[in-house]
Structure 1
Amino acid sequence: MKMAVLLLAYGGPDSLADIPAYLLDIRGGRATPQDLLDEICHRYAAIGGFSPLLHITQSAAAQLQARLGLPVYVGMRHWTPWIKDTVAQMAADGVERAAVICMAPHYSSLSIGAYRRKLDEALAQLARPIDISFVESWHTQPDYLEAVAANVRAALARYAPEERDEVLVVFTAHSLPEFILQRGEPYDRQLRETAQLLADRLALPADRWTFSYQSAAKTGVPWLGPQIEEYIVELAQAGRHKLVVAPIGFIADHVEVLYDIDIGVQQIARQYGVRVERPPMLNDSPAMVTILAALAEQALQPAIARG
Structure 2
Amino acid sequence: MLLQTLLLASTASATCLHGLSKFAKRAGEGEEGAVEVGKFGYTGLVGPFNWAALAPENEACKTGKQQSPINIEDGVIALATEKPVLDIPEQAVEFENLGTTIEVIANGTTKFAGSDFRLKQFHFHTPSEHRINEEYFPLEMHMVHEGVTDANSIAVISVLFQLSTGEPNPVVKGLQPHLQAIREPGTKTEIEGLPLESLVEHVQNVELFQYGGSLTTPPCAEGLTFLVTKEPLQIDVDTFNEMKSIVKFNSRYTQNVLGEENLIAVGNVAGTADQFSVEQPEAGEPIATNATANATATIAGQPTKGHTITVSEIQGTPTYVVGVVQKKAH
| TM-score band, normalised by shorter chain | under 0.3
Q: Report the TM-score when normalising by structure 2.
A: 0.26
Q: Report the TM-score when normalising by structure 1.
A: 0.27
Larger radius of gyration: 2
Point out the structure with the larger strand share: 2
Q: Kindly indicate whether structure 1 or structure 2 has the higher relative contact order, using CA contacts under 8 Å at least 6 residues apart.
A: 1
Point out the structure with the larger helix share: 1
